[in-house]
Structure 1
Amino acid sequence: MDDDRSLPLRERKKLRNRRALADAALRLFAERGFDATTLEELAEEAEVSKSTFTRTFEAKEAAGIEAEAELWAAFLATVDAGVPKGPVLDGLHRALADAMAGLDGTWDARFLATRRLAVAEPALLRYVEHHRARVREQLAAGLAARLDLDAEDLRLHVLAELAMTAFSIAGRAWVRGGGAGGRASLLAGLADAIRAVPASLDLAAE
């Protein structure tokens, strides 16, 4: 999240506070554990007030998964800007790749730290799944509006699940490898996972 000089000063300050709190959460959760870290300690570490924390994040968990949330917010914004013509899954792949490519240079390390922390902290892992479920619903609703389909059309929900599951598979492999190859490697893994979707449908047991 770069300090975008095109934004008003008030908005830049809010973004700086958000990043400071998220960074503090990653540090303190790793050092002390999620349950042992208080909101007051997070605010003090980030040099902001507790009220600033509660205005910025809905919960301690939200601060801990900010890198994850940044990706999905960028993805939804890219999809809202327009899905390219052609197969929708391909369009979602391009939107997710574009969203990922547009994240700032610190995102890779922050995402790695977030995922490693979530594995060790069940509360954070549950919150990640909760957050992704909301994103899938928003994605399906956005696609329904774009494609003029009923919001309950099962195809939309399947597509949302497929796109996000493809990222999950690629992301797990990337994190296990310590982020080797940087973001380019993660993008390549995502492309492989997307290509595996139609290929997997052709598998048949004899």
Structure 2
Amino acid sequence: MSTSLPEHLIDRLDQRLERLPLRERKKLKTRRAIQDHALRLFGERGYDETTVEQIAEAAEISPSTFFRYFPTKEDVVVTDEYDPIMAEVFRSQPAELTPIQALRTTLGDLLPYMFATDMEVVMTRMRLTTTVPALRARTFESLREGTHLILKEVLAERTGRSQDDLDIDALAWAVVGVLMSAMYAWMDGKVQIEEMPDLIDHNLELLESGFPL
């Protein structure tokens, strides 16, 4: 996968973002503005030395507004706007694709888009996650509370099953495991950040093939 996307693909993903409900787009815009200020302050002052009050002041909001968007200070690093976009792109995949094929196509579009348009933010968040223990722990909680639940929802829709179906739950967890495996590979220095989309796609292909080792 290349991190340099053709304009038509970027335009297509931008259009999908625009198709999100207006309220959701406004929330994403505000959340991103708060996060941008937070990441800047973390870079200038350090994570532990930066308070929620300082972030709120820089973003010209109240601390209570901060907590409406981010339940904890850790969440301002680990939360991004891509889960709802992933869900929308995943839902739009052709019905004849298997769940893993649909997910590979989704991430094949979305991950290079993220890296092509948002590399600085991705790198800052990843660096913080690897150096601040509380952030590393919260990252994996966020995968469970956000990505896992969204995967269950869309997988259930595509297969006509209940979100409580144990097979749906197992597949969603398996995909989260693929994402965590790639994250650990980067944290351990086994791959470069720009290689992660290819590694995730490889791991998903391995998952769909039944791990024929």
Q: TM-score range by the shorter chain?
A: 0.7 to 0.9
Give the aligned partner of residue 19 of structure 1.
32
Q: Any idea what the Cα deviations from partners look like across 1:1-50, whole Å, max 9, x if unmatched? A: x8x89999998775554323212222333444434321111122334443
Give me the whole-angstrom Cα distance separating, in 2, the residues matched to 1:19 and 1:130. 20
Shift of 1:92: 1.4
Q: Which stretches of structure 1, 4 residues or longer, exceed 4 Å deviation after superposition?
A: 4-16
Pair 1:138 & 2:150 matched: yes
Q: Any idea what the Cα deviations from partners look like across 1:110-155, whole Å, max 9, x if unmatched? A: 1121121012222222221111102213321332233122333332
Shift of 1:161: 2.2
Give me the whole-angstrom Cα distance separating, in 1, the residues matched to 2:163 and 2:23. 37
CA contact (8 A) 1:5 1:12 kept: yes
Pair 1:71 & 2:76 matched: no
Which residue of 52, 62, 73 corresponds with 1:60? 73
Give the aligned partner of residue 117 of structure 1.
128
Give me the whole-angstrom Cα distance separating, in 2, the residues matched to 1:27 and 1:133. 27
Give the aligned partner of residue 163 of structure 2.
151
Which residue of 120, 140, 164 corresponds with 1:129? 140
CA contact (8 A) 1:83 1:92 kept: no
Q: Any idea what the Cα deviations from partners look like across 1:50-71, whole Å, max 9, x if unmatched? A: 34423332322221123xx323
Give me the whole-angstrom Cα distance separating, in 2, the residues matched to 1:10 and 1:154. 33
Q: List aligned pairs for 1:1-206, cutoff 5 A.
A: 15-66=28-79, 69-82=80-93, 84-103=95-114, 105-134=116-145, 135-174=147-186, 176=189, 177-179=191-193, 182=194, 185-198=195-208, 201-203=211-213
* 3-state SS in 2 of match to 1:201: coil
TM score, norm. by length of structure 2: 0.72
Give % identity.
31
What is the RMSD of the two structures over their aligned residues, measured on CA atoms? Answer: 3.4
Give me the whole-angstrom Cα distance separating, in 2, the residues matched to 1:90 and 1:11. 27
Change in CA separation of 1:75 and 1:195 when aligned onto 2, cut-off 3 Å:
same
Give me the whole-angstrom Cα distance separating, in 2, the residues matched to 1:19 and 1:37. 18
Change in CA separation of 1:80 and 1:200 when aligned onto 2, cut-off 3 Å:
closer
CA contact (8 A) 1:24 1:42 kept: yes
Shift of 1:84: 3.9
For 1:189, give the aligned amino acid.
L
* Higher RCO, 1 vs 2 (CA within 8 Å, ≥6 residues apart): 2
Q: Which moved more, 1:142-151 or 1:166-175?
A: 166-175
Give me the whole-angstrom Cα distance separating, in 1, the residues matched to 2:155 and 2:23. 33
Structure 1 residues without counterparts, runs of 5 or longer? none
CA contact (8 A) 2:95 2:158 kept: no
